[in-house]
Amino acid sequence: MKLTKDQTKKLGLSIVGFVFLIYVYFTFFLGPLNRSRAIALSKIHDRQSKLDASKEEMSKAAKLEQTARTATERFAALKKLNPEGAPIAWFPPRIKTFFANEQIDKAVARLEGNAALKQDELSGWLKYNWVIDVPQADYAVIGRAIADLENAEPMLCVTRLNIHALPDHPQYQHVELAAANLIEKK
Amino acid sequence: MALHLNLLHEEILEQRQRQRDPLKIGMLVLIGCGVLMFLYYSWNAYRTLEIKSRLGAIERSWAKVEPKVTAAQKRVSELQGIVKATRTLDDYIENRFFWAPLLQKVSRCVAPNTQLISLEGSVDENKGVTVTLEGIAAGREPRAAAEDLRQLLLEQLSQSYSEVKVEFKSLEDLDTMVNLGGTHTPTARYTLALTFNPAPAPKPAPVAPPARQKKRGDT
């Protein structure tokens, strides 16, 4: 079959139309549709994995809540050891009362300074350095008082201890304690 | 043979040409393709809509769960922080050096003829505990009395602490005589340096019993 010139022209026109149709179909219809479907699928996958992870996360939180109960109670108890307010306001009177109960009339605590702790987990705590001066005490009494202090104040650590016999009263000693106390930042 | 005359030859030819018109055939093919493509598009659009409705449902359930999950994650990190902080605080509390037992040991070691004048001690995380004792020893041999104190301190401290060192920093005779038990005795002034690690000394590993006792006569 031999095509005439007119027929060849029409055939070419049809092919051009077909190519145009294919282009428009894939570029403006099927392409965007497939893209939006792919995006929706990836979002579904993402959300589904998040939902699955969330179940694990929530069960982990519930388990941790049970296992960490002791730690939580202990942490709350440790926080309760120190009252509210500026430590300079309550620590010296507390020490004075403590030593008075130990039959030591005079004990003066003064703040030397405070510093942040090295450990990241204790970023909410500060180390307060105190100097406790006991001008006159008997060796046995001060020994017992230090033992009681170390037991009563678990957050207090005596870092330096100086005991000197008093020249005028050899039966008494002058005692100076340097102590570090961990106190939560308020 | 009969003769056939086709008088409509031109009309039939035109009709055939019209039927074989490439534009018309092309249009028909285009329409066919278009229909197929439309059907395929519709199928895809239906699937896409279905997926989007699924996504919507998941988004809704995620929106419900998300605040709970965020709160749970926050609680988990908070609890982990509390656990770590409690552990560190407990370590701090347990690793404190207790001075009272040391004072008790020192008081037990000091005999009536070795009076203490001063005690200065400090704790360092890296160096351990350092204590300086200053005192006066009296007796016929005051240096021997001071040495007895040093030996006793070394023995007593070694029971509770490790890496114990008790050394004289100074030991010198004094001209002063003191009355001890009714007799005048010479005195010596001493300064003792005590260093030790507050951790108790590790216990030696128990010796494993021999697997079999050697019988008499065994070779």
Domain ranges of chain A: 1-80, 87-184
Kindly tell me if the per-residue pLDDT of A91 is higher than 90.
Answer: yes
CB contact under 8 A, B85 and A75: yes
> Token pair for residue B12?
């039939």
The CA distance from A44 to B136, in Å, is: 86
The fraction of chain B above a pLDDT of 90, given in percent, is 53
Domain ranges of chain B: 21-94, 99-197
CB contact under 8 A, B30 and A21: yes
- Report residue A157's pLDDT band, with 50, 70 and 90 as the boundaries: very high
In a mutational test of the A interface, the residue from B23, B91, B129 whose CB has the highest number of chain A CBs within 10 Å is B23
CB contact under 8 A, A121 and B84: yes
- Report residue B9's pLDDT band, with 50, 70 and 90 as the boundaries: confident
Q: Give Cβ neighbours of residue A58 (< 8 Å, ≥ 6 apart).
A: B68, B69, B72
In this structure, which amino acid lies at residue A10? Answer: K
Q: Which residues of A touch B89 (CB under 8 A)?
A: 75, 78, 122, 125, 155, 182
The fraction of chain B above a pLDDT of 70, given in percent, is 90
Shortest distance, CA B38 to any CA of chain A (angstroms)? 9
Residue B60 near chain A (CB below 8 Å):
no
Shortest distance, CA A86 to any CA of chain B (angstroms)? 21
pLDDT value of position A94: 93
Alpha helices by DSSP H, chain A? 5-24, 31-67, 69-80, 87-101, 139-152
**What element of type H or E holds A181?**
strand A173-184
The CA distance from B114 to B149, in Å, is: 7
- Could you tell me how many CB contacts below 8 A there are between chain A and chain B? 186
Q: Which residues pair with A125 in a beta bridge?
A: A184
Answer left, alpha or beta for residue A157, where phi above 0 means left and psi between -120 and 50 means alpha.
Answer: beta
pLDDT value of position B216: 44
Q: What is the pTM of this model?
A: 0.71
CB contact under 8 A, B103 and A47: no
Residue B144 near chain A (CB below 8 Å):
no
pLDDT value of position B202: 73
> Token pair for residue B6?
């086709």
Q: Which residues of A touch B55 (CB under 8 A)?
A: 40, 43-44, 47
The values of phi and psi at residue A177, to 5°, are -115, 135
Residue B22 near chain A (CB below 8 Å):
yes
In a mutational test of the B interface, the residue from A57, A60, A70, A131 whose CB has the highest number of chain B CBs within 10 Å is A57
User: Residues B69-96: pLDDT tens digits?
Assistant: 899 889 888 899 999 999 999 999 998 9
For tokens 């030397």, the residue is A112
User: Residues A21-70: pLDDT tens digits?
Assistant: 889 989 999 999 999 999 999 999 999 999 898 888 888 888 888 888 88
Q: Which residues of A touch B73 (CB under 8 A)?
A: 57, 61
The CA distance from A74 to A93, in Å, is: 26
> What mean pLDDT value characterizes chain B?
86
CB contact under 8 A, A10 and B21: yes
Kindly tell me if the per-residue pLDDT of B54 is higher than 50.
Answer: yes
> What mean pLDDT value characterizes chain A?
90
Q: What is the mean pLDDT of residues B189-203?
A: 88
The CA distance from A25 to A12, in Å, is: 20
CATH no., domain B99-197:
3.30.1360
In a mutational test of the B interface, the residue from A6, A47, A176 whose CB has the highest number of chain B CBs within 10 Å is A47
Find the closest chain B residue to A42 by CA distance.
B55
pLDDT value of position B219: 36
CATH no., domain A87-184:
3.30.70.60
